[in-house]
Amino acid sequence: MKPIKLVILLALISSSLSAYAQKAVWDSTFRPATFTIKAEQFKSYKSSSKDIIFLGNSIMANTDWAELLESSNVKNRGISGDISYGILERLKDITDTKPAKIFLLIGINDISRNIPDQQILKNYSKIVSRIRSESPGTKIYLHTLMPVNYTFDKFKNHYGKDEHILFVNEAIRKMADQKMIFVIDLYPHFLDENKRMKVELTHDGLHLTSAGYQVWAKLLREGNYLK
């Protein structure tokens, strides 16, 4: 190969590797604007070993779980925009209170921010291990991620990544089986015939309507997960 052609080839390879590296970059330090103030608020609230903690992102945060499930022991600890790294950062505040149960739903914002699937699952494993270590008496419940609906246009970074949702969900199911913890498989109950979130259960293709939360609550009641 002539020197000039070799130089061009190396330049093309270098350019491709650089573009790939830029595409692969993801930020583990991202925290939503309300993260600190919400975490501080949660720390200031009274706690009990009877508490049932609902931990996660905006999908978890956007309802009054105590009202919905008719239980004063249920505490909402969701933060809008949170990712799995945020859960790890504030997890000790939860485990220090030694709650009876933790219900976790996290990961869709990780996917939207291009955090690799395997890294999300590593974080899930760390969360489970830390709960067991820091609060051994706490029962752990993992939710599978819900589908999204790309026919809406508000959360474009979350749409079109169905293969990642499916991959993470299957791994969550296996993790729950291997670690002998509970899994609440939300995904199929929110899915329509076109493999999208049912329109009647969402108002923006990502977050739930009141009807959506009623479906979720029914699953929890029917599974006797709150007793």
Domain 29-222: give its CATH superfamily.
Answer: SGNH hydrolase (3.40.50.1110)
Q: Where are the domains of the chain?
A: 29-222
| Torsion angle of the four alpha carbons 220, 225, 226, 227, in this order, in degrees rounded to the nearest 10 | 140
- pLDDT above 70 for 24: no
Q: How confident is the model at residue 5 (pLDDT cuts 50, 70, 90)?
A: low
pLDDT surpassing 60 at residue 17: no
What length is written for the chain?
A: 227
Q: How buried is residue 162: exposed, middle or buried, by Cβ count under 10 Å (0-12/13-18/19+)?
A: middle
Residue 13, pLDDT > 60, answer no
Give the three-state DSSP class for 76: strand
Query: pLDDT digit string (tens) for 81-129?
Result: 999 999 999 999 999 999 999 999 999 999 999 999 999 999 999 999 9
Question: What's the pLDDT at 25?
Answer: 80
